[in-house]
Amino acid sequence: MRLTAWLPLAVLSAFTVLGGAATRPRYGGSLRVEVRAAPASLDPAAQDAAPLASLVFEPLVQLDATGAPLPRLALSWQRDPSAKRWQFNLRPGVRFHDGLPLVAAAVVASLQAALPGLSVSAAADSVVIHAERPMPGLLFDLAHNGLVFTHNAEGGFIGTGPFRLASWTPGRTATFTANDDYWGGRPFLDAIEVQMGRGLRDQLVDLEIGKADIAEIGPTDLRRAAERGGTVWSSAPLDLIALVATPGRGEDPRVRQALALSIDRAAMHNVLLQKQGEVSAALLPQWLSGYAFAFAAAPEVARARAIAAALPPRDRTLALSYDPAVMVARALAERVAINARDAGLTVLVSPLNPQADLRLVAIRVPSLDSARALAGFAAALGLETPGPALSSEVLYESERKLLEDFRVIPLFHLPDLYGVASRVHVFPPPPIARLGEWRFENLWLSETAP
């Protein structure tokens, strides 16, 4: 599978690096971070704990800005020509936060849960992974899902990352302190204080008044954050924003087709999303599949109107539910409604309506392997599981078939966006990795306290 380079992120990262190079890195300080997620525990496998987990846990491999795999806990790796057998050679000198060395057995134990269906075994200082079928994208899977951990006596998770968990109040606060024995060198920061469960509006205010150094922001707040002299970090477009039909409701595909043809994605992207992310009519983002552009995204209002006119009047009204927790969901839903009106459809928008015909959802890219990602999307969206994809053409055809009855109408792929206070500086690599992981070991603060 060929990955598309994410140039904007590279440019942004370069800009950030250039901007930060003027100040000398200094040790010390506590970084204040705010997030919406409120995980109950720092579970490496939990989706909502993902960015926090990346402070504490590490995978065998990581991806650079271009998506190319780089060594992390694995110093090197080999695979057989069929890509069914992989061997990863562990980096020496790595210790868990409890002081115990990183051994293959511990890696095997943590990878077995993350890679179901694969055979993971230890071989001296190596880890061997077997599969029945070829795994050409295993490196991306490991980078995305293969965090290595062990357990302490209390059953808690222990990692090898640049920061160790100092305190955890479920759903409220978490404090991470620098791992002085980190194999990559002690982080510049002494600590990272995370406020969990904060709304976007509150995070933006805290960022503006100096109570937070890093906060999640929505696309609509991009301009505001930039106007106040801050920086914006983003990941690759990881979140699929799509309209999903509720099973058992609105069985006539013509309604969904008319709706799909009426949506003006470009206007929404330009105004509501402030050109962040990408317009997409495909499940897989362009940077992952390389063929997303082949799915037509432009509106065809006249055709939509003709299709809607042929529908019985009672079928021209749809209920659209959105999750207020999804960024700009309400604005997107209301814009979809107004676009649908142009086609002669009536879309009634309401939050968290279980009886709705359609839902506006945000789904994270499940894997960096295109086929696994498509299967993951299909499973998450209640679609038929696609068959094995042996080529891009087959994968494209599978994806096209999944979307042909318009049960899912992809709209955009959005990145994670963070507003960053001016006192935060970064040294390469980029602080927000391709898949949204936090790489804060190279962050430093220009002053200890604002």
Taking the complex as a whole, how short is the minimal distance between the CB of residue 224 and another protein, in angstroms?
10
Query: Residue 317, interface with another protein (CB under 8 A)?
Result: no
Query: Residue 204, interface with another protein (CB under 8 A)?
Result: no
Distance CA 203, CA 66 (A): 30
Distance CA 344, CA 338 (A): 10
The residue (of 38 and 331) whose beta carbon lies closer to another protein is 331
Residues 13-42, interacting with another protein (CB under 8 A): none
Stretch that binds another protein, among 3-11, 107-115, 188-196, 328-336 (CB under 8 A): 328-336
Residues 382-421, interacting with another protein (CB under 8 A): none
Taking the complex as a whole, how short is the minimal distance between the CB of residue 82 and another protein, in angstroms?
50
Query: Residue 208, interface with another protein (CB under 8 A)?
Result: no
Residues whose CB is less than 8 angstroms from the CB of residue 401 and which lie 6 or more positions away in sequence, other chains included: 386
Residues 347-366, interacting with another protein (CB under 8 A): 348-349
Residue 30: beta bridge partners?
A: 191
Provide the b/e sequence for 20-39 (b: ≥16 CB within 10 Å): beeeeeeeebbbbbbbbbeb
- Tokens 């983003």 correspond to 234
The residue (of 403 and 411) whose beta carbon lies closer to another protein is 411
Contacts 24+ apart (CB under 8 A), 208-211: 210/421, 210/450, 211/32
Stretch that binds another protein, among 20-28, 87-95, 269-277, 409-417 (CB under 8 A): 269-277
Phi/psi zone of residue 189: left (φ > 0), alpha (ψ -120 to 50 degrees), beta? beta
- Look up residue 326 and give its two tokens: 């999804």
Query: Residue 105, interface with another protein (CB under 8 A)?
Result: no
Taking the complex as a whole, how short is the minimal distance between the CB of residue 276 and another protein, in angstroms?
10
- Look up residue 128 and give its two tokens: 């061997």
- Candidates 161, 168, 177; CA nearest to 96 is 161
- Look up residue 378 and give its two tokens: 């299909």
Query: Residue 334, interface with another protein (CB under 8 A)?
Result: yes
Residues 209-238, interacting with another protein (CB under 8 A): 220, 223
Distance CA 188, CA 298 (A): 47
In the list 331, 351, 353, 446, the residue contacting another protein (rule: CB under 8 A) is 331
- Tokens 């942004």 correspond to 12
- Look up residue 70 and give its two tokens: 């780089």
The residue (of 187 and 219) whose beta carbon lies closer to another protein is 219
Query: Residue 271, interface with another protein (CB under 8 A)?
Result: yes
In the list 7, 105, 123, 267, the residue contacting another protein (rule: CB under 8 A) is 267
- Look up residue 167 and give its two tokens: 């305190």
Distance CA 22, CA 101 (A): 38
Distance CA 232, CA 8 (A): 12
β-strands 408-414, 278-279: how paired?
A: antiparallel
Query: Residue 338, interface with another protein (CB under 8 A)?
Result: yes
- Candidates 161, 136, 141; CA nearest to 150 is 161
Question: In terms of residues, how long is the chain?
Answer: 450
The residue (of 33 and 409) whose beta carbon lies closer to another protein is 409
98: three-class secondary structure by DSSP = coil
The residue (of 48 and 334) whose beta carbon lies closer to another protein is 334
- Tokens 């082949």 correspond to 294
Stretch that binds another protein, among 78-86, 255-263, 266-274, 310-318 (CB under 8 A): 266-274
The residue (of 175 and 220) whose beta carbon lies closer to another protein is 220
Stretch that binds another protein, among 47-55, 264-272, 357-365, 407-415 (CB under 8 A): 264-272
The residue (of 191 and 226) whose beta carbon lies closer to another protein is 226
Distance CA 34, CA 36 (A): 7
Query: Residue 76, interface with another protein (CB under 8 A)?
Result: no
- Look up residue 140 and give its two tokens: 């991306």
Query: Residue 298, interface with another protein (CB under 8 A)?
Result: no
Taking the complex as a whole, how short is the minimal distance between the CB of residue 270 and another protein, in angstroms?
6
Instruction: With CB under 8 A as the rule, give the number of residues binding another protein.
Output: 15
The residue (of 309 and 338) whose beta carbon lies closer to another protein is 338
The residue (of 192 and 263) whose beta carbon lies closer to another protein is 263
Query: Residue 274, interface with another protein (CB under 8 A)?
Result: yes
The residue (of 270 and 385) whose beta carbon lies closer to another protein is 270
Sign of the Cα torsion 25, 31, 33, 38 reads: positive
Query: Residue 272, interface with another protein (CB under 8 A)?
Result: yes
Which residues are near another protein by CB under 8 A?
220, 223, 267, 270-272, 274-275, 331, 334-335, 337-338, 348-349
